[in-house]
Amino acid sequence: MRNTKIFAGSSHPELAKHICKQLGTPLAEATLKKFSNKETSVEINESVRNQDVFIVQSGSMAMNDDIIELCIMIQAARMGSAKRITAILPYFPYCKQSKRKGKRTCITSKLVANMLAVAGVDHIITMDLHASQMQGFFQKPVDNLYAEPCIVRWVTQNVPNWRNGVVVSKNAGGAKRVTSLADALRLDFALIHKDRTRSGPQGQNRPYSGMPKLHQIRTVDTDDDLTASISSLSEAGSNGDIMNAAVSVVSDTNGEESTITLVGDVKDKIVFLTDDIIDGCQTFLDAAEHLVKKCGADKVYIIATHGVLSGQSIQQIEACDSVYKLVVTNTFPIDEAKKTQCSKLIMIDISSTLAEAIRRTHNGESVSYLFHHAD
| pLDDT per residue as tens digits for the range 173-184 | 888 899 999 999
Q: Model confidence at 63, in pLDDT bands (50, 70, 90)?
A: very high
d(CA 354, CA 360): 10
pLDDT at 231 over 90: no
SS3 262: strand
Q: Who has greater pLDDT, 326 or 228? A: 326
Domain that holds residue 205: 149-348
- Indicate if 341 and 308 belong to the same structural domain: yes
- Indicate if 274 and 200 belong to the same structural domain: yes
Q: Is residue 168 part of a domain?
A: yes
Q: Model confidence at 249, in pLDDT bands (50, 70, 90)?
A: low
Least confident stretch, 169-173, 226-230, 262-266, 364-368: 226-230
The per-residue pLDDT for 254 is: 57
**Which of 167-181, 200-214, 352-366 is predicted most confidently?**
352-366
The per-residue pLDDT for 101 is: 85
The per-residue pLDDT for 201 is: 42
The per-residue pLDDT for 261 is: 87
- Indicate if 277 and 161 belong to the same structural domain: yes
- Report residue 32 CA to chain centroid gap: 28
Q: Is residue 291 part of a domain?
A: yes
pLDDT tens for 327-339 read: 999 999 999 988 9
pLDDT at 124 over 80: yes
Q: 323 phi and psi, to 5 degrees? A: -100, 120
pLDDT tens for 263-276 read: 889 999 999 999 99
pLDDT at 187 over 50: yes
- Indicate if 73 and 52 belong to the same structural domain: yes
- Indicate if 140 and 30 belong to the same structural domain: yes
Strands 325-329 and 299-307: parallel
- Indicate if 139 and 178 belong to the same structural domain: no
- Indicate if 113 and 187 belong to the same structural domain: no
Residue 3, Cβ neighbours under 10 Å: how many?
11
Quick one: average pLDDT of 322-327? 96
Q: What is the pTM of this model?
A: 0.84
Which residue, 221, 128, 237, 134, is CA-closest to 182? 221
The per-residue pLDDT for 252 is: 60
pLDDT tens for 86-119 read: 999 999 999 999 988 888 899 999 999 999 999 9
Number of domains in the chain: 2
Q: Model confidence at 213, in pLDDT bands (50, 70, 90)?
A: very low
pLDDT at 210 over 80: no
Q: Are 152 and 266 in contact (CB under 8 A)?
A: no
- Indicate if 141 and 160 belong to the same structural domain: no
- Indicate if 175 and 315 belong to the same structural domain: yes
Residue 12, Cβ neighbours under 10 Å: how many?
25
Q: Is residue 332 part of a domain?
A: yes
Q: Is residue 216 part of a domain?
A: yes
What is the number of helices (H) and of strands (E) in the chain? Answer: 11, 15
Q: Is residue 246 part of a domain?
A: yes
Q: Are 286 and 262 in contact (CB under 8 A)?
A: no
Q: What is the DSSP string of 151-196?
A: HHHHHHHHSTTGGGEEEEESSGGGHHHHHHHHHHHT-EEEEEEEEE
- Indicate if 124 and 219 belong to the same structural domain: no
- Indicate if 130 and 156 belong to the same structural domain: no
Quick one: average pLDDT of 299-303? 97
- Indicate if 278 and 364 belong to the same structural domain: no
Q: What is the DSSP string of 123-145?
A: EEEEES-SSGGGGGS-SS-EEEE
Q: Is residue 375 part of a domain?
A: no
Contacts of 66 (CB under 8 A, 6+ apart): 9, 10, 11, 57, 58, 59, 60, 93
Q: Is residue 134 part of a domain?
A: yes
Q: Are 28 and 20 in contact (CB under 8 A)?
A: no
Q: Which CATH number is 198's domain given?
A: 3.40.50.2020
The per-residue pLDDT for 185 is: 95
Percent of the chain with pLDDT over 70: 83
d(CA 165, CA 267): 10
Q: Average pLDDT over the chain, rounded to whole?
A: 86
Quick one: average pLDDT of 338-364? 95
Q: Is residue 237 part of a domain?
A: yes
d(CA 122, CA 339): 35
